[in-house]
Amino acid sequence: MKPSMAVPTLDQLRSGGKRSLAEGLTLAETRAGDSAVVSLLDAACAAPKGDVIGITGPPGVGKSTLTNALIARWRAAGLTVGVIAVDPSSRYTRGALLGDRTRIRTNPEDDGIFVRSMAARDRLGGLSAETVAAMVLMRAVYDRVIVESVGIGQSEADIGFVADCVILCVQPGSGDSLQYMKAGITELPDIFVVTKGDTGKPAMRARADVEGALGLNAPSGRKPAVLVVSSTAAEGFDGLDEAVNDMLTATASQRDHRRSVQEDAWVNDAIRERFGRDGLARMKRGNEGPSRKGPFTRIAQVTQALRPE
């Protein structure tokens, strides 16, 4: 990238196709603190176009295969789709294997689909500030944004900080997700998908187990859907598509609130990462009150204020 690369306006980002979005993502990664970049991110954040679907679950459960299937369906329905594949291995490989690992295939000629792989943060599946920024830019441009992230235990909840709808993939015959549910859940996924439905009995058992655990543990309110899909047999996708649409429709009135909670979490997270718990406490003490400035501006301002001279 040229150091002089101009920061596009939101309109330019939207009308400039893949190339413009790629430049926007690069700027968000390399010049995150620049005031023009901060303004672009907040403008994008304030003008979301699409819905964000988080797909999480253990390694190898079938997240990318599911993502491929959803991309094909949504493109066929005329929706534009952005995908962020968060790769937990890249901190070991320095990104060298990103392309191989995501296993997401798309048509390079199609301007309505954009896929970006990104490194996970320190812990498995943890989302980095770059991932949040990329999601915000893509959400302003595409009708649907998928964030695929490996999740085990705690990191499963991370996806809730960027997604409007969280799909947790369950591996037949593993018991992983049940363990996690038994451990006590604060944030339930919106949809459970048992993958590899073509395995037959183990998949059916996994569904019954999840339903049983939900019956015992779920707080009152909206019950998550529990579905079985098979990517190899191309089964269950009508139901999944419907469940996603139903969830998004049913929660539309809470969308703004959910997103504003997410924004607060990004600010807290960024300040904690840079200045530790102490920094967080200082931010809260010196807080600008109920500032409704965009989250990226808030992060920049607090960073400025806390930075030692």
* Residue 152 binds to ligand GTP (criterion: CB under 6 A): no
Edge-to-edge strands, sheet with 51-57: 113-119, 81-87, 144-150, 51-57, 165-170, 191-194, 225-228
Judge contact between 282 and 251, C-beta under 8 A.
no
* Residue 68 binds to Mg ion (criterion: CB under 5 A): no
Number of residues that bind ligand GTP (CB under 6 A): 16
Tokens of 27: 């700027």
- Comparing CB distances to ligand GTP, the nearer of 30 and 232 is 232
CB of 164 vs ligand GTP, minimal distance in Å = 21
- Comparing CB distances to ligand GTP, the nearer of 65 and 80 is 65
* Residue 59 binds to ligand GTP (criterion: CB under 6 A): yes
Q: Residues 5, 17, 26, 60: which binds ligand GTP (CB under 6 A)?
A: 60
Tokens of 56: 């999480």
* Residue 139 binds to ligand GTP (criterion: CB under 6 A): no
Number of residues that bind Mg ion (CB under 5 A): 2
CB of 172 vs ligand GTP, minimal distance in Å = 9
CA distances from 263 to 129, 281, 292 (A): 12, 18, 10
Q: Residues 56, 64, 80, 131: which binds ligand GTP (CB under 6 A)?
A: 64
CA distances from 280 to 158, 258, 264 (A): 19, 22, 12
* Residue 177 binds to ligand GTP (criterion: CB under 6 A): no
- C-alpha span between 69 and 227 (Å, rounded): 15
Q: Residues 35, 179, 232, 254: which binds ligand GTP (CB under 6 A)?
A: 232
CB of 152 vs ligand GTP, minimal distance in Å = 10
* Residue 231 binds to Mg ion (criterion: CB under 5 A): no
- Comparing CB distances to Mg ion, the nearer of 120 and 203 is 120
- Comparing CB distances to Mg ion, the nearer of 63 and 196 is 63
| Closest residue to Mg ion in the complex (CB) | 64
* Residue 151 binds to ligand GTP (criterion: CB under 6 A): no
- Comparing CB distances to ligand GTP, the nearer of 80 and 231 is 231
Amino acid found at 296: F
* Residue 64 binds to Mg ion (criterion: CB under 5 A): yes
Q: Residues 150, 194, 270, 302: which binds ligand GTP (CB under 6 A)?
A: 150
Identify residues 19-58 at the interface with ligand GTP (CB under 6 A). Answer: none
Tokens of 2: 């040229």
* Residue 195 binds to ligand GTP (criterion: CB under 6 A): yes
Q: Residues 56, 155, 177, 231: which binds ligand GTP (CB under 6 A)?
A: 231
CA distances from 64 to 17, 169, 210 (A): 24, 11, 22
CB of 111 vs ligand GTP, minimal distance in Å = 25
Chain residues in the site for ligand GTP (CB under 6 A): 59-65, 101, 103, 150, 195-196, 198, 230-232
Chain residues in the site for Mg ion (CB under 5 A): 63-64
